[in-house]
Amino acid sequence: MIRLTADSTCDLGAEIQKNNIGIMPLYVILGGEPHRDGVDICPQDIFDYYDKTGQLPKTAAPSIGDYEEFFASYVDAGDTVIHFDISAKSSSSYNYAVAAAKRFGKKVYVIDTKALSSGQGLLVMKAADMLAAGAGAKEIADAVNALRPKVNTSFIPDRLDYLYTGGRCSRMQMYGANIMKIHPLIEMDDGQLVSGKKYRGPMEKCIAGYIKDLAAKYPVYDKTRCFVTHSSADGSLVEFAKKMVAEVFAFDDIIETVAGSVITGHCGRNTLGVLFIAG
């Protein structure tokens, strides 16, 4: 049996249980106390901690020992594991998972998705599609590795407070953006987060421009599914984005997911992204 597993940063929501995906939690550290992402901490805990202290939590990768124990739970049961890590340029998780996988030989494949959040999740779901069609482990691993450059991982933050506190933008950039209602595009480029076009105005207007730009940039795309992933965003904004995606694109499935604690801790509340695989 082939078992698909992923770091908790894949932000797949209900798709995890539907597709029997094993999840390895990353750690979120609040006031020196470690918590497991999605197990004993949730995004609201991040918001409460930041509002109270003005500090962001720290995050940490699972150890090599954690990964060895995680993989062993499946391999000892006779499974071959394909594990999907958050980008190696964003976390040590991939390197630790690779080190742990050496103990199991060809029974564990480790994928550097070069993505995060549901961009990472898109590759997990593509693997689930192939697994359901009867593909083997190496065939799946080779296929998803080849797809990595085609994954659109991007989002628009509402405010830059969390990005500033986390050292990802300057104080001047934060104040200027918040005062002038500038919302920069943040996207993955070869596994690394970079800033792109700057949108200006209310979030709904910015999200509309962002979705139109995505449609223009990616006229050919995999229509299987699209994720509208957000960090506890306003319900009206999420519904607006989903409706517009349905009008502009022709996805078979538009799936809403909420970012977990690790991703939320970096981008803050009301961030929203539209993620899919390009053609």
- pLDDT tens for 228-262 read 999 999 999 999 999 999 999 999 999 999 999 99
Q: What is the pLDDT of residues 8-46, one digit of tens each?
A: 999 999 999 999 999 999 999 988 899 999 999 999 998
Q: Which amino acid is present at 242?
A: K
Kindly report, residue by residue over 84-109, the tens digit of the pLDDT.
999 999 899 999 999 999 999 999 99
Confidence bin at 180 (pLDDT 50/70/90): low
Distance (Å, whole) CA 41 – CA 45: 6
pLDDT above 80 (res 174): no
Position 214 pLDDT exceeds 90: yes
Q: Which residue has the higher pLDDT, 65 or 174?
A: 65
pLDDT of residue 40: 93
* 201 or 265: which leads in pLDDT: 201
SS (H, E, C) the chain: CEEEEEEHHHCCCCHHHHCCCEEECCEEEECCEEEEECCCECHHHHHHHHHHHCCCCEEECCCHHHHHHHHHHHHCCCCEEEEEECCCCCCCHHHHHHHHHHHHHHHEEEEECCCCHHHHHHHHHHHHHHHHCCCCHHHHHHHHHHHHHHEECEEECCCCHHHHHCCCCCHHHHHHHHHHCEEEEEEEECCEEEEEEEEECCHHHHHHHHHHHHHHHCCCECCCCEEEEECCCCHHHHHHHHHHHHHHCCCCCEEEEECCHHHHHHHCCCCEEEEEEEC
- The per-residue pLDDT of the chain, averaged, comes to 92
Mean pLDDT across the stretch 176-202?
82
Flag whether the pTM goes above 0.85. yes
Predicted local distance difference test score (pLDDT) of residue 274: 98
Task: Return the number of other C-beta atoms located less than 10 Å from residue 78's C-beta.
Answer: 9
| pLDDT over 80 (residue 139) | yes
Q: Which of 139, 148, 94 is nearest to 120 (CA)?
A: 148
Two structure tokens written together for 69: 């124990």
- Read off the pLDDT band of 204 (50, 70, 90): very high
pLDDT range class, residue 116, cuts 50, 70, 90: very high
Name the nearest CA neighbour of 50 among 68, 70, 69, 28.
28
pLDDT at 263 over 90: no
pLDDT band of 114, cuts 50, 70, 90: very high
Rounded CA gap, 246 and 153, in Å? 18
| CATH numbers and ranges of domains, the chain | 2-148 (3.40.50.10170), 151-277 (3.30.1180.10)
